[in-house]
């Protein structure tokens, strides 16, 4: 297997960015396999993702990072470089609604999702048997209804211990029905993805599909976004919708909506692990 790497960067838009980056890769004896760029006129920021291969075996990720640092510094870049074959370590959070969890596990087992799922964390014990069937550790950290601040802190401290133990690179909230504290959100900044059961902004709170049914909506959807301290307002990664009509029951809307949630969340996770998502203020640039 040849060595392949992915470079992502953003910097002030200026002349010579592509020339400097491609010139660096030529000097290092590397070949570009795929390249995508975007210049945002509003923020005057340039974004780039390059997937490249090393043509000689002596290249290392650390060596390439060290060599690229002066180029990045000269052009004021925010950048990352990754081994394209590395499978990020993922922990999934879930409560009592399991369709997204089940879908992610199936994609993982089938090789469709290039990750290592290290653990499943839940405030309920409903899916411990599902986790066991995939030979994945299941951590049950219950939180009683009306839990006070101290109880919430204690539960989140145990969660953070598990994340540290597994050297977690991505947390996926697969319908985890607990609001994360500000400190937890900050600890997971840029590496936690949530699936929201509506096409934001719309129908927040309990039973969203019943709310949608009452309003006679013609489209339902789902939104995957990064987790921030602002509830359900983090940078959006992916959205999708399905057309519905007046003859459908709330249960039918729920079934359709859950299918959309699975697809949207899986796309967001896949794009994250393939380093296709770059932050642009409160928005994202996604190189598909």
Judging by beta carbons within 10 Å of its beta carbon (0-12, 13-18, 19+), is residue 142 exposed, middle or buried?
exposed
The yes-or-no answer on residue 83 being catalytic is no
Q: What does the alpha-carbon distance between residue 92 and residue 179 come to, in Å, rounded to a whole number?
A: 15
Q: Which token pair is 252? A: 């039918």
Q: What does the alpha-carbon distance between residue 172 and residue 94 come to, in Å, rounded to a whole number?
A: 9
Q: What does the alpha-carbon distance between residue 143 and residue 156 come to, in Å, rounded to a whole number?
A: 10
Q: Tell me 127's DSSP state.
A: T
Cis peptide before 201 (omega within 30 of 0): yes
Single out the catalytic residue among 232, 240, 245, 259.
232
Q: Which token pair is 92? A: 């999934």
Q: What does the alpha-carbon distance between residue 40 and residue 271 come to, in Å, rounded to a whole number?
A: 20
- The residues that are catalytic are 232
């Amino acid at each position: 297997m040849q060595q392949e790497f992915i470079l992502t960067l953003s910097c002030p838009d200026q002349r010579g960015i592509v020339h400097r980056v491609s010139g660096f890769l030529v000097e290092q004896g590397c070949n570009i396999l795929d390249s995508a760029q975007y210049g945002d006129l509003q923020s005057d920021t340039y974004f780039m993702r390059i997937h490249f291969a090393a043509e000689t075996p002596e290249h290392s990720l650390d060596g390439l990072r060290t060599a690229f640092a002066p180029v990045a510094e000269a052009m004021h870049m925010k950048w990352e470089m990754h081994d394209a074959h590395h499978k990020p370590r993922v922990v999934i959070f879930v409560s009592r609604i399991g369709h997204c969890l089940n879908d992610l596990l199936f994609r993982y087992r089938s090789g469709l999702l290039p990750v290592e799922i290290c653990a499943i964390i839940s405030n309920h014990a409903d899916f411990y048997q599902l986790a066991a069937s995939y030979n994945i550790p299941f951590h049950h950290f219950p939180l009683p209804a009306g839990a006070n601040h101290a109880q919430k802190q204690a539960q989140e401290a145990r969660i953070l211990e598990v994340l540290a133990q597994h050297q977690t690179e991505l947390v996926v909230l697969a319908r985890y029905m607990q609001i994360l504290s500000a400190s937890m959100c900050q600890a997971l900044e840029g590496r936690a993805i949530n699936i929201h059961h509506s096409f934001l902004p719309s129908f927040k709170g309990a039973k969203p599909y019943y709310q949608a049914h009452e309003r006679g909506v013609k489209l339902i959807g789902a939104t995957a976004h990064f987790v921030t301290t602002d509830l359900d307002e983090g940078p959006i990664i992916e959205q999708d919708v399905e057309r519905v009509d007046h003859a459908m029951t709330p249960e039918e809307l729920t079934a359709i909506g859950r299918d959309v949630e699975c697809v949207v969340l899986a796309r967001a996770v896949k794009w994250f692990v393939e380093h296709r998502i770059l932050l642009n203020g409160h928005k994202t640039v996604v190189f598909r």
